[in-house]
Amino acid sequence: MKIVVLVKQVPDSGAERNLRSDDSTVDRDSANNVINEMDEYAIEEALKLREAHGGEVTILTMGPERAAESIRKALSMGPDKAVHVLDDALHGSCALATSKVLAAALKTLEPDLVIAGAESTDARGQVLPHMLAERLGAAALTGARKLTVDGATLTIERQTEEGYEVVTASTPAVVSVWDTINEPRYPSFKGIMEAKKKPVQTLSLGDLGIDAGEVGFGGASTAVVEHARRPPRQGGTRVNDDGEGGVKLVEFLVSEKFV
Amino acid sequence: MAEVLVLVKPSQGKVTKSTLEALTIARGLGEPAAVVVGEPGLASSITDKLGEYGAAKVYVAESDEFGDYLVTPQVAVLEKLVRDGEPAAVLIPSTQEGKEVAGRLAVRLGNGVLTDVVSLDTDGIATQVVFAGSTIVKSKVSRGIPLVTIRPSSVTPTPAPTTPSVEPVAVALGEADRLARVKERVTEAKGARPELTEASIVVSGGRGVGSADNFKLVEELADLLGAAVGASRAATDSGFYPHQFQVGQTGKTVSPQLYVALGISGAIQHRAGMQTSKTIVAVNKDNEAPIFELADFGVVGDLFKVVPQAAEEIRKHKA
Ligand SMILES: Cc1cc2nc3c(=O)[nH]c(=O)nc-3n(C[C@H](O)[C@H](O)[C@H](O)COP(=O)(O)OP(=O)(O)OC[C@H]3O[C@@H](n4cnc5c(N)ncnc54)[C@H](O)[C@@H]3O)c2cc1C
Ligand SMILES: Nc1ncnc2c1ncn2[C@@H]1O[C@H](COP(=O)(O)O)[C@@H](O)[C@H]1O
């Protein structure tokens, strides 16, 4: 099975993140840039499928030059190779344009299965996997907490508010996964060494036959008008439990009319 | 007045609060038209409720087959309504499915999309709260009409009763809409507690709760307050509580009137899901826990002492 895993580099969600004051894009210079956490689960799921069914796992990333670090990190977990869509004209691209570029790259790779994270920690859009399925005419099995593969038939379990759904489709398909699906492996020393030699193909917009005007700020379908830091919340009253902590807590709730 | 389409999110035959919130926001932009997509009989049971919250029109697309597919029936119906009717905007509750509908629809229409919007101005400028609640962004859709998903609990739904006209919409699914099929829908008993993202009070437990069994304490306090129960990732990962109740970056975003954090340290990723709560209360034995930086009322103490005492006090108060 030919599997492509979509990996996005994002600013670490555990530290302060900012938008740039000049063009309102994510400030990557001041951030610690890491693999989007959900995408590690996507990689793990692909590796498990390769172990069980054979085939090949390719990492696909669209992102600036420094995203190459995340690609190497991803490869150190075990995938075979990577494709990096890299072009200065991509800076400022909206989700719609990103999906156009990734779909074009996927068409050159002709995968049976595309696995993505369910959402990215920076955009939190959850929109890319369905956008890609729509553009590729592939089935969308999104938000999986479990994936089973039987020949060309894929079945997922998807958590809902009411319980869960079992959804099935044939390849080619786009699957997106949550962190409940598996436990990503840590790269081994051998994996890290091997990753240095694995092939990473760089594709430009020209290679994909996409005009620079269709992406970036010029081709964007959404625009930031303004942004500002939200004033941090102020802590209020704090009491030490002297044996009456629960009573004081309820006094507060009563004063605020919650009880 | 221009029509504003609001995709109805039903849950077990009822209209969700997130739908009523979207209708409330829609009224600021034009005349709300609710869009009901589902199996036959769905619309008739919810039309009154939609009218109560200002839907001047209810578009009804019903088919036996719609329940077999995720997302694509809604996309097909909205695509048709946008192409035929030139609405001023499309509003969709920001659930997983809602965002997916919006993404797919955006591609079909070549229209920009904004997710997790908390408010929408008359001129279509949308406000989002990003980066774990630390940054406010105002954006607009610059290609097409405002196509936005509305984050739950962004507004208080207010009634504006009308008697809606009902208009059937006939849409046939295409081949590409039928690629993924729902084989089974499993409903899990969830008791009488309110929906996590819709509750006006949420009581959450973290690693400090210590075990699945101890979560009974969290549930007890929640039930006394009529609250939903939430959990930190450490608590769900440790198996103390089911994953679907996780609050935070990778879980649910909640914005209740009151959020009670028990044995939760308050990591950035947890704050991401609860920072916009109106009032925050925390119980933690560590005076240095970052959760206290945002708590309106904090008790530094052992939750196994504080919570049972609080429960007892509430009972006394109620009696
Ligand atoms: C990409 C990414 C996404 C993440 N997404 C989420 C998310 O969606 N939601 C989330 O919650 N986390 C998320 N996390 C994890 C987050 O960073 C924290 O690890 C997690 O929130 C910690 O949970 P906790 O506060 O319950 O546990 P801890 O940090 O271990 O805190 C437990 C607290 O309980 C207190 N305590 C212990 N015993 C008692 C007692 N008897 N009485 C009172 N207090 C007591 C301790 O003092 C401590 O402050 C994410 C992390 C990453 C990297
Ligand atoms: N620039 C990108 N390059 C590769 N994959 C991406 C990119 N952006 C998003 N994705 C994938 O799409 C998923 C969902 O992203 P989002 O819709 O932004 O929440 C991510 O988890 C990634 O797997």
The secondary structure of chain B, three-state, reads CCEEEEECCEECCEECHHHHHHHHHHCCCCEEEEEEEECCCHHHHHHHHHHHCCCCEEEEEECCCHHHCCCHHHHHHHHHHHHHHCCCEEEEECCHHHHHHHHHHHHHHCCCCEEEEEEECCCCCEEEEECCCCEEEEEEECCCCCEEEECCCCCCCCCCCCCCEEEECCCCCCHHHHCEEEEEEEECCCCCCCCCCCCCEEEEECHHHCCCCCHHHHHHHHHHHCCEEEECHHHHHCCCCCHHHEECCCCECCCCCEEEEECCCCCHHHHCCCCCCCEEEEEECCCCCHHHHCCCEEEECCHHHHHHHHHHHHHHHHC
A36: in domain: yes
pLDDT band at B224 (very low <50, low <70, confident <90, very high): very high
State the average pLDDT over residues A48-74.
98
- Ligand of minimum distance to the alpha carbon of A120: 2
Q: Report the largest interatomic distance among the alpha carbons of chain B, rounded to a whole angstrom.
A: 62
| Ligand 2, atom nearest to A36 Cα | 21
Q: Are A76 and A59 in contact (CB under 8 A)?
A: no
Higher pLDDT, B13 or B21: B21
State the average pLDDT over residues A236-257.
97
Write the residue in A230, A248, A259 that is nearest to B299 by C-beta: A248
> Which residues, 6 or more positions from A31, have their beta carbon under 8 angstroms from its beta carbon?
A11, A12, A15, A17, A18
The confidence score (pLDDT) of residue B180 equals 98
| Chain B: closest CA distance from residue A162 (Å) | 5
A224: in domain: no
The confidence score (pLDDT) of residue B317 equals 94
Q: Are A111 and A83 in contact (CB under 8 A)?
A: no
Kindly report, residue by residue over A77-92, the tens digit of the pLDDT: 999 999 999 999 999 9
Assigned token pair, B180: 């993924």
Ligand 2, pocket-test mutation among A4, A5, A7, A8, most atoms within 8 A of CB: A8
| Chain A: closest CA distance from residue B178 (Å) | 8
pLDDT over 80 at B155, yes or no: yes
Asked whether the CA dihedral B94, B100, B101, B102 is positive or negative, the reply is: positive
The confidence score (pLDDT) of residue B132 equals 87
**Residue B271 to residue B289: CA distance in whole angstroms:** 12
A251: in domain: no
| Average pLDDT of every residue of chain A | 96
Taking only residues 186 to 245 of chain A, the set having a beta carbon closer than 8 angstroms to any beta carbon of chain B reads 220-230, 232-241, 244-245
**DSSP single-letter state for residue A207:** H
Q: Are B89 and B4 in contact (CB under 8 A)?
A: yes
**DSSP single-letter state for residue A255:** H
A258: in domain: no
pLDDT over 80 at B190, yes or no: no
| Ligand 1, atom nearest to B231 Cα | 11
> Which residues, 6 or more positions from B12, have their beta carbon under 8 angstroms from its beta carbon?
A162, B187
pLDDT band at B214 (very low <50, low <70, confident <90, very high): very high
The confidence score (pLDDT) of residue B133 equals 87
Assigned token pair, A218: 């010029």
**Residue A38 to residue A41: CA distance in whole angstroms:** 5
User: Exposed, middle or buried: residue B185 (CB in 10 Å: 0-12, 13-18, 19+)?
Assistant: middle
- A34 in contact with B, Cβ within 8 Å: no
Q: What is the B133 CA–ligand 2 centroid distance (Å)?
A: 21
Report the Cα B43 to chain-centroid distance in Å.
21
| Average pLDDT of every residue of chain B | 96
| Ligand 1, atom nearest to B232 Cα | 11
Chain B partners of A236 at a C-beta cutoff of 8 Å? Answer: 295-298
A254: in domain: no
- A171 in contact with B, Cβ within 8 Å: no
**DSSP single-letter state for residue A214:** G
**Residue B18 to residue B8: CA distance in whole angstroms:** 9
Kindly report, residue by residue over A120-144, the tens digit of the pLDDT: 999 899 999 999 999 999 999 999 9
Q: Are B128 and B116 in contact (CB under 8 A)?
A: yes
Kindly report, residue by residue over A205-237, the tens digit of the pLDDT: 999 999 999 999 999 999 999 999 998 888 999
Chain B partners of A95 at a C-beta cutoff of 8 Å? Answer: 103, 106, 113
The confidence score (pLDDT) of residue A86 equals 98
Kindly report, residue by residue over B173-185, the tens digit of the pLDDT: 999 999 999 999 9
Structure ipTM over 0.85, yes or no = yes
Kindly report, residue by residue over B14-67, the tens digit of the pLDDT: 999 999 999 999 999 999 999 999 999 999 999 999 999 999 999 999 999 999
A174: in domain: yes
CATH number of domain containing A131: 3.40.50.620
The confidence score (pLDDT) of residue B58 equals 98
State the average pLDDT over residues B265-280.
95
Q: What is the torsion angle, in degrees rounded to the nearest 10, for the CA atoms of residue A147, residue A152, residue A153 and residue A155?
A: 10
Kindly report, residue by residue over A60-70, the tens digit of the pLDDT: 999 999 999 99
**Residue A255 to residue A119: CA distance in whole angstroms:** 40
pLDDT band at B288 (very low <50, low <70, confident <90, very high): very high
**Residue A230 to residue A211: CA distance in whole angstroms:** 37
CB contact under 8 A, A239 and B313: no
Ligand 1, pocket-test mutation among B197, B211, B232, most atoms within 8 A of CB: B232
The confidence score (pLDDT) of residue A65 equals 97
pLDDT over 90 at A240, yes or no: yes
| Chain A: closest CA distance from residue B229 (Å) | 14
The confidence score (pLDDT) of residue B167 equals 98
**Residue B92 to residue B251: CA distance in whole angstroms:** 19
Ligand 2, pocket-test mutation among A28, A34, A128, most atoms within 8 A of CB: A128
Assigned token pair, A135: 């553009």
State the average pLDDT over residues B248-269.
95
Mutate to test the interface with B, among A19, A167, A168, A234 (most CBs of B within 10 A): A167
The confidence score (pLDDT) of residue B1 equals 79
Pocket-forming residues, ligand 1, beta carbon under 6 Å: A 13-14, 37, 121; B 206-208, 232-235, 246-251, 263-265, 267, 269-270, 273, 283-286, 289, 302-304
Segments forming the whole domain that contains residue A94:
2-214
- Phi, psi angle pair for B260, to nearest 5°: -110, 120
Q: Which residues make beta-bridge pairs with A30?
A: none
Q: What is the B208 CA–ligand 1 centroid distance (Å)?
A: 8
Write the residue in A130, A155, A240 that is nearest to B300 by C-beta: A240
Pocket-forming residues, ligand 2, beta carbon under 6 Å: A 6-8, 36, 38-39, 42, 60-63, 98, 102, 116-117, 119-120, 123-128
Q: Which residues make beta-bridge pairs with B5?
A: B33, B90
Residue in chain B lying closest to A180 (CA): B243
The confidence score (pLDDT) of residue A66 equals 97
CB contact under 8 A, A131 and B280: no
A176: in domain: yes
State the average pLDDT over residues B247-261.
95
Q: What is the B231 CA–ligand 1 centroid distance (Å)?
A: 9
A54: in domain: yes
- Phi, psi angle pair for B13, to nearest 5°: 80, 5
Q: In chain A, how many domains are there? A: 1
| Chain B: closest CA distance from residue A222 (Å) | 4
| Chain A: closest CA distance from residue B165 (Å) | 30
Which of A63, A54, A57, A65 is CA-nearest to residue A81?
A57
The confidence score (pLDDT) of residue A161 equals 84
Place of tokens 């629960």: A246
